[in-house]
């Protein structure tokens, strides 16, 4: 990575080599062609984002709402993690992978709602040294920034320079709410100003109001609009291509001592080619690693005769992500015990999907999957009681082999709507437009003496992405082979 002479860049100022003379500054700021900017038409998501802002406005009349994109996050020294704007910010603006770090959406209350303005650091003029001497934001280093006019046309939002945000902060009072987790420094500034404006009033009241805003923004995403559903379909389609890529690369993967890393790399290549990145750290869990629910070290071999559990999803430039798991026999065919376990998990997934329709409780999906898991493990003699007894709340013996839940909401976050109230989430009633996973599994740890040796080290999960329709449900990922026979045929191709 190159180095620079910028004043700001954390630990790099003692390694500056860029000339600082007036002569150089004059020379590098001259002889540039004029740029003719053609303003874009508003992106497809702009009207949907406007509707989302109207809905959150109705929930918080009279309050100023501040939704930051968040600053870049430091990885080490003067390098940052790849930037991702806060999900609530992206949802309300439509700005995804092209968002400018540090941007802030401000919704000012009016008599009939709110006026929204997007503040961000626009392109630096070539009459300043920023564009060549600042490696964090300079055009020579990170590419040109969009203009205020460009972003205003693109997103259908009023825009202002980030320097103008100071005037907003100077008027902060107890009616100002902020998404606290998005930008800690900005939140601290707002807390300080609210404390001064409130004359020592209980600060916890304002923090409670902030948490209510975060809750409402999360619940706003419980049902998806037409744009979001289309993005979910596209994310699933891209993810299928990623799974296909992994299968095509299996010979090289098997040959490498850390084949799991090659699985991860192959899938991530597709994610970068067809989307923004992966929606979460890829789980490429081969052999007994499949029994570790969030195995992301991915440093083990991929051995014929074992299963590999691949839990992966591609995040699009809009930030909408798929979340799909398939469990594959590395040699191309399941053994008898592997197929037995796999088909039990598939039966649980299919039973859960069969009951999905508007009006049922979200938690009923998990209960239906667990009914099948309890029945199968009891049939195999793994439980000390009957399936019916195990399903009683104070027993749950079958949960030894599946400790996680069956479903979570999915969308712009892989675990979407996480701050929604329990009564609208786990205890909520399904509505048309909800998107979530169904992902039962069975995991027999390699040292689990409660099961016969033939089961030990087998981990199976099957995860699909489900859309609630007007009269039932659609499995968005049904095109990715699911049955044991189809998986074997997939591998053979």
Share of the chain above pLDDT 70, in %: 96
Share of the chain above pLDDT 90, in %: 87
pLDDT-based confidence at residue 7 (cuts at 50, 70, 90): very low
Q: Using H for helix, E for strand and C for coil, what is the string for the chain? A: CCCCCCCCCHHHHHHCCCCCCHHHHHHHCCCCCCCCCCCCCCCCHHHHHHHHHHHHHHHCCCCEEEEECCCCCEEECCEECCCCCCHHHHHHHCCCCCCCCCCEEEEEEECCEEEEEEEECCCCCCCCCHHHHCCCCCHHHHCCCCCHHHHHHHHCCEEEEHHHHHHHHCCCCCCEEECCCCCHHHHHHHHHHHHHHCCCCCHHHHHHHHHHHHHHHHHCCCCCCHHHHHHHHHHHHHHHHHHHHHHHCHHHHHHCCCHHHHHHHHHHHHHHHHCCEECCCCEEEEHHHHHCCCCCCCCCCCCECEEEEEEECEECCCCCECCEEEEEECCCCCCHHHHHHHHHHHHHHHHHHHCCCCCCEHHHHHHHHHHHHHHHHHHCCCCCCCHHHHCCCCCCHHHHHCCCCCCCECCCCCCCCCCCCHHHCCCCECCCCCEEEECCEEECCCCCCCCCHHHCCCEEECEEEEEECCCCEEECCCCCCCCHHHHHHHHHC
CA–CA distance, 324 with 46 (Å, rounded to integer): 28
Segments making up each domain of the chain, as ranges: 10-32+39-219, 226-492
The answer to whether residue 413 scores a pLDDT higher than 90 is yes
pLDDT-based confidence at residue 3 (cuts at 50, 70, 90): very low
- pLDDT tens for 9-49 read 555 566 668 888 999 999 999 999 988 889 999 999 999 99
- The pTM score is 0.95
- pLDDT tens for 51-109 read 999 999 999 999 999 999 999 999 998 899 999 999 999 999 999 999 999 999 999 99
- pLDDT tens for 364-412 read 999 999 999 999 999 999 999 999 999 999 999 999 999 999 999 999 9
Q: pLDDT at position 12, please?
A: 56
- pLDDT tens for 313-342 read 999 999 999 999 999 999 999 999 999 999
CATH of domain 226-492: 3.90.230.10
Would the CATH topology of 10-32+39-219 be identical to that of 226-492?
A: no
Match domain 10-32+39-219 to its CATH number in 3.40.50.2000, 3.40.350.10, 3.30.300.30, 3.90.1640.30. 3.40.350.10
Q: pLDDT at position 135, please?
A: 83
The mean per-residue pLDDT over the stretch 138-147 comes to 88
The answer to whether residue 271 scores a pLDDT higher than 60 is yes
- pLDDT tens for 450-477 read 999 999 999 999 999 999 999 999 999 9
The answer to whether residue 281 scores a pLDDT higher than 50 is yes
- Contact between 369 and 351 under an 8 Å Cβ cutoff? The reply is yes
Q: Look over the chain and give the mean of its residue pLDDT values, rounded to a whole number.
A: 94
**Gyration radius from the chain CA atoms:** 26
């Amino acid at each position: 990575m190159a180095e620079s002479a910028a004043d700001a860049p954390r630990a790099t100022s003692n390694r500056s080599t860029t000339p600082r003379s007036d002569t150089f500054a004059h020379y590098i700021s001259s002889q540039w062609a004029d740029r003719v900017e053609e303003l874009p038409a508003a992106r497809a998501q702009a009207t949907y984002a406007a509707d989302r802002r109207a809905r959150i406005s109705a929930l918080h009349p009279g309050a100023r709402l501040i939704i930051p994109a968040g600053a870049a996050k430091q990885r080490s020294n003067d390098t940052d993690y790849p930037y991702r704007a806060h999900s609530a910010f992206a949802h309300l603006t439509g700005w995804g992978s092209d968002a400018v770090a540090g941007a802030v959406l401000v919704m000012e209350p009016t008599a009939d709602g709110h006026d929204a303005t997007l503040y961000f650091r626009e392109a630096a003029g070539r009459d300043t040294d920023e564009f060549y001497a600042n490696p964090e934001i300079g055009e020579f280093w990170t590419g040109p920034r969009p203009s205020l006019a460009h972003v205003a046309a693109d997103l259908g939002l009023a825009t202002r320079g980030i320097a103008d945000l100071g005037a907003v902060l100077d008027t902060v009072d107890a009616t100002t709410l902020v998404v606290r987790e998005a930008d800690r420094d900005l939140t601290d500034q707002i807390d300080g100003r609210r404390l001064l404006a409130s004359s020592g009033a209980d600060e916890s009241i304002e923090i409670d109001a902030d948490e209510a805003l975060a809750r409402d923004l999360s619940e706003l995403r419980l049902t998806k609009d037409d744009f979001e559903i289309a993005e979910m379909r596209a994310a699933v389609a891209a993810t299928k291509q990623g799974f296909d890529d992994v299968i095509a690369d299996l010979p090289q993967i098997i040959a490498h001592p850390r084949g799991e890393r090659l699985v991860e790399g192959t899938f991530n290549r597709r994610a970068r080619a067809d989307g923004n990145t992966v929606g979460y750290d890829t789980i490429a869990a081969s052999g007994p690693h499949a029994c570790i629910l969030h195995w992301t070290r991915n440093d083990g071999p991929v051995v014929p005769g074992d299963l590999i559990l691949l839990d992966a999803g591609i995040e699009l430039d809009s930030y909408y992500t798929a979340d799909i798991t398939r469990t594959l026999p590395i040699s191309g065919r399941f053994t008898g015990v592997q197929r037995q376990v796999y088909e039990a998990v598939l039966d649980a997934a299919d039973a859960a999907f069969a009951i999905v329709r508007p009006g049922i409780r979200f938690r009923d999906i998990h209960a239906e999957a667990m009914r099948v898991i309890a029945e199968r493990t009891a049939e195999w003699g793994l439980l000390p009681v009957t399936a019916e007894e195990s399903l009683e709340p104070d027993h749950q013996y079958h949960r030894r082999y599946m400790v996680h839940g069956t479903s979570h909401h999915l969308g712009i976050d892989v675990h979407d709507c996480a701050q929604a109230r329990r009564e609208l989430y786990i205890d909520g009633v399904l509505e048309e437009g909800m998107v979530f996973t169904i992902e039962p599994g069975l995991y027999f740890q390699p040292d689990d003496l409660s099961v016969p040796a033939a089961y030990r080290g087998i981990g199976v999960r099957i995860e699909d992405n489900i859309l609630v329709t007007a009269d039932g449900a659609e499995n968005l990922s049904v095109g990715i082979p699911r049955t044991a026979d189809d998986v074997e045929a997939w591998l053979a191709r």
